[in-house]
């Protein structure tokens, strides 16, 4: 008799112990807690031909948008091709092949095809959700989950993760009240659902509720931080709340502590660190040697043009550390990448490259050029992925360039826009005052 996963899908090559380990890994992935790669490795050691365990490991390696783990995923795909797969597993192998090829949009569609056949395939759903995030597809962040949610019941294992994902999609599409409600329901079902806490942090960020956001994250640290491989990002969100409150010392304490204290070599963590330092730099903060340390981490990845969103954060770090030649080299490799035919080439062409050029111009004090590059970019920047909160860095850089460049009217207009969304924002109020004073 063949084994099935906890949502009823048949599994090739598994035994009971391996299924239990696989389900533990899925739960860890759902909550972003523990070490799902190690757990799924144990499942594979137990049952070497366990197709979905091999597929899950490949997805986990590919989920960080990094070059080296992607190479390991190719070996896993070869192993999948040697197995006698069922239809669902074959579809997963096809989606993994697309991801390895950098065909992010096609992979996204293939994962959706799996979900149309089996709406309970939570691995396909979560991997699709992450891809929607990386592709900046806010509608699908919400609607990929909505397409399956009605097929689930709250008693099914992993239901909390659907609510957490739906919450993030609702937030990215501006439905903040429903987002908050859905995320709280997720947390009620599973207090370790790191993605659900994250969705609430985003709601607070978008609404400018920085005091509520800091209180929420501080008060629920036991839920989202311990043993979480996503915790750096939630610490980053906490740092943004403190930054909005002008508590620079607290931001630096978080940076030196949970955000960067572990000197993580994970690119997602490096992205957060670089983005936080850039925001501090825009405010004129003294950052000491911090740029040097993070630039050292990016330096070996300069040639590694897999994902334009990451590349831009690498450029920030190199510029922050004063390594203009390396930053220019990175931009020139991005220029070559943008000429190719791939999803990332498009992302680079539309957003990554003009943003990287704008960052270079800003660093060189060419504020008019920075403004010219960023203004057409800000409303299409979702094409290179990330969240609204992450892409806010573009608006912040534009505001500061306008201020430094003496473009008073633009400062005032952008501050007005920001205050309409975040009426309590001290930063937006400050820019409004500056725009007003200069105009007087
Ligand atoms: Fe986030």
Question: Which residue from 104, 117, 95 is spatially nearest to 383, judged by alpha carbons?
Answer: 104
Confidence label for 117 from pLDDT (cuts 50, 70 and 90): very high
User: Residue 290 gets which letter from DSSP?
Assistant: H
Query: In the predicted model, what is the mean pLDDT of residues 342-369?
Result: 97
Q: What is the rounded CA–CA span in Å between residue 253 and residue 260?
A: 10
4 CA distance to ligand 1 middle (Å): 34
Q: What is the rounded CA–CA span in Å between residue 39 and residue 227?
A: 14
Query: What is the reported pLDDT for 164?
Result: 98
Judged on CB neighbours under 10 Å (0-12, 13-18, 19+), 409 is exposed
Crossing angle for the helix pair 231-244 and 267-282, to the nearest 10 degrees: 10
283 CA distance to ligand 1 middle (Å): 21
Which three-class secondary structure state does DSSP give residue 228?
Answer: strand
388 CA distance to ligand 1 middle (Å): 8
Q: Is a pLDDT exceeding 80 seen at residue 395? A: yes
269 CA distance to ligand 1 middle (Å): 11
227 CA distance to ligand 1 middle (Å): 18
Query: What is the reported pLDDT for 67?
Result: 86
Are the beta carbons of 376 and 331 closer than 8 angstroms?
no
Q: What is the rounded CA–CA span in Å between residue 194 and residue 227?
A: 11
202 CA distance to ligand 1 middle (Å): 6
32 CA distance to ligand 1 middle (Å): 13
Are the beta carbons of 155 and 405 closer than 8 angstroms?
no
Confidence label for 374 from pLDDT (cuts 50, 70 and 90): very high
Q: What is the dihedral of CA 260, 265, 271, 277, to 10 degrees?
A: 30
Confidence label for 437 from pLDDT (cuts 50, 70 and 90): confident
**pLDDT digit string, tens, across residues 238-264:** 999 999 999 999 999 999 999 999 999
Query: What is the reported pLDDT for 409?
Result: 96
Q: What is the rounded CA–CA span in Å between residue 416 and residue 398?
A: 14
For the chain, give the percent of residues with pLDDT over 70: 99
Query: In the predicted model, what is the mean pLDDT of residues 353-372?
Result: 98
**pLDDT digit string, tens, across residues 416-431:** 999 999 999 999 999 9
What phi and psi, each to the nearest 5 degrees, are found at residue 157?
-65, 130
Which three-class secondary structure state does DSSP give residue 24?
Answer: helix
201 CA distance to ligand 1 middle (Å): 7
User: Residue 225 gets which letter from DSSP?
Assistant: S
Q: What is the rounded CA–CA span in Å between residue 108 and residue 362?
A: 35
The mean pLDDT of the chain is: 97
Which three-class secondary structure state does DSSP give residue 11?
Answer: strand
Hey, what are 41's tokens?
A: 């490795």
What phi and psi, each to the nearest 5 degrees, are found at residue 190?
-150, 110
Q: What is the rounded CA–CA span in Å between residue 334 and residue 393?
A: 20
Are the beta carbons of 16 and 28 closer than 8 angstroms?
no
Query: What is the reported pLDDT for 440?
Result: 55
Are the beta carbons of 175 and 141 closer than 8 angstroms?
no
84 CA distance to ligand 1 middle (Å): 39
264 CA distance to ligand 1 middle (Å): 18
Environment of ion ligand 1 (residues, CB < 5 A) = 387
For the chain, give the percent of residues with pLDDT over 90: 96
How many CB atoms neighbour CB 90 within 10 A? 17
- With vertex at residue 212, the alpha carbon angle to CA 206 and CA 216, rounded to the nearest 5 degrees, is 105
Query: What is the reported pLDDT for 439?
Result: 55
Are the beta carbons of 279 and 246 closer than 8 angstroms?
no
133 CA distance to ligand 1 middle (Å): 10
**pLDDT digit string, tens, across residues 303-348:** 988 999 999 999 999 999 999 999 999 999 999 999 999 999 999 9
Query: What is the reported pLDDT for 69?
Result: 87
Q: Is a pLDDT exceeding 70 seen at residue 367? A: yes
Are the beta carbons of 194 and 231 closer than 8 angstroms?
yes
Confidence label for 16 from pLDDT (cuts 50, 70 and 90): very high
Q: What is the rounded CA–CA span in Å between residue 145 and residue 283?
A: 38
Query: What is the reported pLDDT for 168?
Result: 98
- Sorted by sequence, the CB contacts under 8 Å of residue 122 that are 6+ apart come out as 7, 26, 30, 158, 161, 162
Looking at the chain, the number of H-run helices and the number of E-run strands are 25, 2
Query: In the predicted model, what is the mean pLDDT of residues 95-107?
Result: 97
Question: Which residue from 316, 245, 324, 313 is spatially nearest to 287, judged by alpha carbons?
Answer: 316
Query: What is the reported pLDDT for 438?
Result: 58
Judged on CB neighbours under 10 Å (0-12, 13-18, 19+), 175 is middle
Query: What is the reported pLDDT for 397?
Result: 98
Query: What is the reported pLDDT for 436?
Result: 87
**pLDDT digit string, tens, across residues 163-193:** 999 999 999 999 999 999 999 999 999 999 9
Query: In the predicted model, what is the mean pLDDT of residues 147-165?
Result: 97
Name the pTM for this structure: 0.97
Top pLDDT among 384 and 438 is at 384
Are the beta carbons of 98 and 347 closer than 8 angstroms?
no
């Amino acid at each position: 008799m063949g084994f099935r996963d906890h949502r009823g899908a048949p599994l090739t090559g598994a035994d009971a112990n391996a299924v239990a380990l696989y389900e533990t890994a899925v739960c860890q992935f759902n909550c972003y807690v523990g070490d799902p790669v190690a757990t799924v490795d144990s499942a594979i050691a137990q049952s070497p031909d366990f197709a979905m365990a091999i597929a899950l490991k490949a997805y986990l390696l590919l989920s960080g948008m990094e070059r080296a783990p992607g190479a390991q995923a190719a070996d896993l795909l070869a192993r999948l091709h040697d197995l006698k797969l069922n239809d669902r597993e074959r579809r997963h192998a096809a989606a993994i092949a697309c991801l390895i090829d950098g065909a992010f949009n096609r992979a996204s569609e293939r994962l959706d095809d799996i979900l149309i056949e089996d709406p309970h395939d939570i691995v396909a759903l979560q991997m699709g959700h992450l891809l929607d995030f990386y592709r900046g597809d806010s509608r699908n962040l919400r609607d990929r989950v909505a397409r399956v949610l009605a097929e689930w019941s709250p008693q099914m294992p992993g239901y909390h993760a659907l609510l957490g994902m739906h919450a993030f999609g609702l937030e990215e599409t501006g439905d903040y009240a429903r987002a908050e409600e859905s995320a709280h329901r997720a947390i009620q079902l599973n207090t370790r659902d790191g993605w659900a806490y994250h969705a609430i942090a985003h709601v607070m960020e978008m609404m400018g509720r920085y005091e509520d956001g800091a209180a929420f994250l501080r008060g629920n640290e036991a839920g989202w931080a311990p043993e979480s491989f996503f915790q750096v990002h939630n610490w980053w969100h906490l740092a943004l709340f403190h930054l909005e409150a002008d508590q620079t010392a607290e931001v630096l304490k978080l940076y030196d502590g949970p955000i960067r204290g572990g000197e993580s070599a994970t690119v997602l963590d490096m992205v957060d660190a670089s983005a936080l330092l850039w925001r501090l730099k825009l405010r004129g903060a003294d950052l000491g040697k911090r740029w040097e340390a993070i630039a050292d981490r990016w330096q070996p990845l300069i040639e590694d043009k897999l994902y334009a969103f990451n590349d831009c954060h690498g450029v920030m770090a190199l510029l922050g550390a004063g390594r203009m030649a390396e930053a220019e080299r990175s931009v020139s490799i991005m220029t070559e990448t943008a000429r190719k035919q791939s999803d990332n080439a498009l992302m680079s062409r539309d957003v990554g490259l003009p943003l990287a050029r704008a960052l270079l111009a800003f660093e060189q004090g060419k504020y008019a050029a920075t403004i010219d590059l960023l203004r057409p970019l800000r409303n299409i920047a979702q094409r290179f992925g990330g969240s609204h909160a992450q892409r806010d860095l573009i608006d912040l850089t534009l505001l500061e360039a306008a201020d430094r460049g003496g473009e008073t009217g633009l400062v005032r207009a952008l501050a007005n826009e920001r205050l309409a969304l975040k009426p309590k924002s001290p930063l937006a109020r400050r820019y409004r005052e500056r725009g007003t004073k200069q105009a007087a």
